[in-house]
Structure 1
Amino acid sequence: MGVDKTNIKSPADVVANPLPEDARSNESDTNRADVGKRPPPLLAKLFTVFLISCISFGSHWSTGVTGAMKSTIKKQMNINNTQFSLLEASEDFMATVLILLSGIITDRVGGAGMMVAGNIVYTIGSILVAAATQVRSFNFMIGGRVILALGDIATQIAQYKMFSSWFAPSNGFASTLGFELAIGKIGGFVGKSTANVIAKNTGNFSWVFWTSVFMNLFTNFTTVVFWFFTRYCNKHYLGRRDNATKEELTDKNKKFEWQKMMQLPWTLWCILAFSLFQTSAALVFSQNATELAEQRFEVDSVKAGWYSALSQYAGFFLVPCLGLFIDILGNRATIIFICGLGTFLAMALVNFAPSHGGTAASFAVYAIASALGPTSIIDSIRTTLWHQSVFGSAYALKITMNNAVNIIIRIITGALQDADNNSYQRAVQVYLFQGAAGLAIGLAIVVGTFFAQELELLQWTRWKRLTRGGPEIIQQLKEHNLVTHPRRTRRLAITGFACIMALTLGGWAAYIWGAVTGHNN
């Protein structure tokens, strides 16, 4: 995948004619519209980060609740492990159906509007879920989770699309992403650790979900404020640019960018392959961590909720530091490898050291590994793209893929647990396989940075990307992939899309199997 130097225009040629005729015409129209405007001040950028972080706090609070309540929900709703997995997978199922379409639409209409609409639908779904727990109806609860998922689908892509329109790689994207994820982890920790406390002190676990409704109302208010603020900024400030590529960062496009979606680089698919195993292992493990802690530590649900919350969110303080590190020093591939190694070690300890000490060690290692994953993966996706305008679609591919695999793994591990007398003895072997596969791919990406310039971009420091020939090299690589070898790039993109669609069909099959077989009687 190296660059053929003989087929690349010189930096002088690229700089002299960086845009086709129609693009230059559009740029001149934009320049006329921007007369009198000034770049957005630092305060505006910081306020953007603050608002999105508030939204993230509320949404992560709600997300952490159901997993922490697994034992309680099974007892109160009189369901088994496979049915609980079906409840969790119902949200993943809706995501696989609609999340890719949501990413394409977000690129077209913008992140702010999608966040407003999505959070309204999410709140309606959370009200239905709370009502379902009040009347103890499992089918009603699944219906509520489906509605809730529709709102979550709209907001998942939108908030990161907003970040990509304000900040470029090595110029604030990873830092702001890390700060937002840290706030989200705090919200998830509070929601997960207090869920069983609320249920125990109120005497009715439904109050946990009604509290989630109130938190969602706060999220809606913050989202509306952010929408008005975004409109103000678009009216008074210049558009942001990536200083390395001179590309204008956009929140929404003038049309659907189908052609650019077929120009996704091969390095993106490498990052998605790593996320296929590592992210899914982390998410499914987190879902079951509270009940696993109850069994391994022999404690009640309240203490187990605290232990699992610590394992999932204790590394929150590392996330903003990691974002700063990536923005300044790069080394994204190295961090991805370390994340894969940590996830594998945590899963190995869960499998081979079931004692109190071994389980505690696995939770501690997992806390560090899970803190490294999201920032490095999302920033790497953004860094590999040739076009920021399709970041929403690219990130939607990741979410679609992860949710499809989550359904398959959740149904499999739920069935294994039911067949194993509610034990995790066999279910954790699935986590180990995912951890090992993620580690192997992470190692391949690191080794690949020494042989392929496209992968080497992941390791670049801020100084290298913005100076020292970095912009010229990026332009050369872009031209090499999109002009010199466009068919190869298109074929790789089509193959990647086909693989994700195959995984999606597999996820649908697993969900339907869980819904119609005797496991859910």
Structure 2
Amino acid sequence: MPDTVTTDHAVDQSSMTTSEPKSKNEVMIAVGEAGSDSEAGENPKKVAVPLKWKLASILMVSAIGFGSHWSSGITGAMKSTIKKELHINNTQYALLEASEDFMVTLLMLVSGVVTDRIGGAGAILYGNLLFTVGSLLVAGAAQVQSYRFMIGGRVIQALGDIATQVAQYKIFSSWFPPSHGFASTLGLELGIGKIGAFAGKSSANIISQNTGNFANVFWVAAGMNLFTNVMTAGFYWFTNVANRKFASTADPATGEELTEKNKKFELRKVLELPWVFWAVMAFSLFETSTAIVYTQNATELAEQRLGVSAVKAGWYTSVVQYGGFFIVPLLGVFIDVWGNRLTILLVCGLGVFLSMCLVNWNTQMSGTSASFAIYAVAYCFGPATIIDSIRTSLWDQSIFGSAYAIKITVNNAMNIVVRVVCGVLQDADNNSYDTVSIVYVFLAACSVLVSILLCVFAFFNVDLRRLQWTRKQRVAKGYIINERNEKFHNENGDRNRLVSKICFISVIFLVLGSWCGYFWGVATGNND
């Protein structure tokens, strides 16, 4: 169970009878500053990282992610084409998508721990090389029209994606504290990523039809990945120069020194993640999985419900799914300044739920169009808020890579289960989405329920309520964060460690369950 329910007032009152927590916080900040001064004394050239260097790092990482986002938009846009060209059914297509999810659930946790140890720049370098090899294999599989070969290519591609997904956000976390640029950075990167996904998804069927060979779409994606490797090499050099030249950043609220890599593996800290982190994971478990599976199937859904060609369906769904790219950077700025992360999660959950209800209960053209429009806006509020909430919930930034890896593992494990179930249901329903959409509604409803509970309990628990704090509140109440951190690990340490370990074991069972679903697909011949 989480810590005893408290309020800011209660904490403030207790602090009056204890050892001046505010002074303690000021001492911690002074220590962080002294550490930086000490480093500067040893090397006078080491100063705080200038804003222009931080902005340059954001743009370079965003350019690196552009290619992978491009590739992610392709497969979903060409679902009907891939099924036709490779002569596979919906269950087999679901297994193709689940193959990548399977590799993520197998290795992502290890990748997160390793990234925390070696740093994001090193991980993103080898990750992109591997991702490019996989994209070339996928293009080759499309060229020879081999389903098995394509599964193999997707697996190799997933190995690279595993490394890059964690690495880019780990880099951001080492340069920007919560409420001081982290959310804004996420928003900009995700906004650029939406542009890449839009370009990939909207152009996929156009390239396929105009060139007469659907494999050319994958060759173009492979070319984009070669571009990202050039950017990655440049960023690796850029990061090494920055690390030598500048001192590390300190969190203005708590005084914590932010790091890109650790001196050792922090397995114990990974097993002691705060219960607030697991609460955010509960929301992500349902909402993100709904969004990912729905996005993968949206183009084919548009073809059926709107009665249009694959090219037009690709354009329609690209616009509604990624047209809100300009909202995400603005949302990031809002979160950094005004907080209210849990409220935004509730808005996201309600919007996605309404969209899924329209898909399920209004199968006409108007209902499908309205669903796409609502989803386009609602989903923009999800990814950046979830990732920033994860970062804000942690007591220790040094394990952010591992924490984010858990998030990806949970989502991909859930994706495997949902993909296989939806594939089987769609095949049993003559390729219709009438039955599958019920699954979408159920998952979205669960995300709404979790978000409501989070907002309600935030009124009674300060650990959860700090996700709602504005920038000014977080800086002013930084001593409360340090107090709660100490209490979490000492006074309530045994109970909190037990809760975290139970949650971690639950993730393992979810992963094992997803593997059972994946291997069921293999055993029943659905990958033939």
Pairwise same-fold verdict (TM > 0.5): yes
**C-alpha contact (below 8 Å) 1:118/1:152 kept by paired residues:** yes
**C-alpha contact (below 8 Å) 1:107/1:253 kept by paired residues:** yes
> Is 1:453 the counterpart of 2:456 in the alignment?
no
- Mapped partners of 2:162, 2:527: distance in 1: 26
Indicate which of 508, 513, 517 corresponds to 2:520: 513
User: How many angstroms does 1:336 deviate by?
Assistant: 0.4
Indicate which of 491, 496, 502 corresponds to 1:484: 491
* CA deviation vs aligned residue, 1:6-58 (integer Å, no higher than 9, x gap): 59753157348759x9x999989756555441111111011011101111211
Alignment: residue pair count: 517
- Mapped partners of 1:12, 1:446: distance in 2: 27
- TM-score, normalised to structure 2, is 0.95
- Mapped partners of 2:272, 2:297: distance in 1: 38
Matching of residues 15-414 of structure 1 within 5 Å: 15=25, 18=28, 33-414=42-423
Match of 2:447 in 1: 438
- Mapped partners of 2:410, 2:315: distance in 1: 30
Change (3 A) 1:212 1:449: same
- Mapped partners of 2:182, 2:414: distance in 1: 27
**C-alpha contact (below 8 Å) 2:25/2:478 kept by paired residues:** no
Secondary structure of the 2:273 match is coil
Change (3 A) 1:258 1:25: farther
User: How many angstroms does 1:259 deviate by?
Assistant: 2.4
Secondary structure of the 1:484 match is coil
> Is 1:425 the counterpart of 2:434 in the alignment?
yes
User: How many angstroms does 1:386 deviate by?
Assistant: 0.3
User: How many angstroms does 1:240 deviate by?
Assistant: 1.0
Secondary structure of the 1:378 match is helix
User: How many angstroms does 1:482 deviate by?
Assistant: 1.4
**C-alpha contact (below 8 Å) 2:148/2:527 kept by paired residues:** no
Indicate which of 503, 510, 522 corresponds to 1:503: 510
* CA deviation vs aligned residue, 1:435-468 (integer Å, no higher than 9, x gap): 000000011111111110011101111111123x
Structure 1 unaligned spans of 5+: none
* CA deviation vs aligned residue, 1:266-288 (integer Å, no higher than 9, x gap): 11011000000000000000010
Letter in 1 for 2:483: Q
User: How many angstroms does 1:316 deviate by?
Assistant: 1.0
Secondary structure of the 1:170 match is coil
Change (3 A) 1:16 1:211: closer
State the identity as a percent: 54
**C-alpha contact (below 8 Å) 1:34/1:238 kept by paired residues:** no
Match of 1:463 in 2: 472
- Mapped partners of 1:26, 1:220: distance in 2: 35
Structure 2 unaligned spans of 5+: none
**C-alpha contact (below 8 Å) 2:339/2:469 kept by paired residues:** yes
- TM-score, normalised to structure 1, is 0.96
- Mapped partners of 1:171, 1:390: distance in 2: 19
Letter in 2 for 1:339: C
**C-alpha contact (below 8 Å) 1:9/1:476 kept by paired residues:** no
Secondary structure of the 1:243 match is coil
Match of 2:21 in 1: 11
User: How many angstroms does 1:258 deviate by?
Assistant: 1.9
User: How many angstroms does 1:374 deviate by?
Assistant: 0.3
Letter in 1 for 2:242: C
User: How many angstroms does 1:2 deviate by?
Assistant: 2.5
**C-alpha contact (below 8 Å) 2:127/2:161 kept by paired residues:** yes
- Mapped partners of 1:227, 1:258: distance in 2: 26
The worse-fitting range, judged by mean Cα deviation, of 262-271 and 177-186 is: 262-271
Letter in 2 for 1:140: F
- Mapped partners of 2:113, 2:267: distance in 1: 9
Change (3 A) 1:18 1:137: same
Q: CA RMSD in A?
A: 1.9
The worse-fitting range, judged by mean Cα deviation, of 151-160 and 253-262 is: 253-262
- Mapped partners of 1:361, 1:13: distance in 2: 54
Change (3 A) 1:174 1:418: same
User: How many angstroms does 1:519 deviate by?
Assistant: 3.8
Secondary structure of the 1:126 match is helix
- Mapped partners of 1:497, 1:391: distance in 2: 15
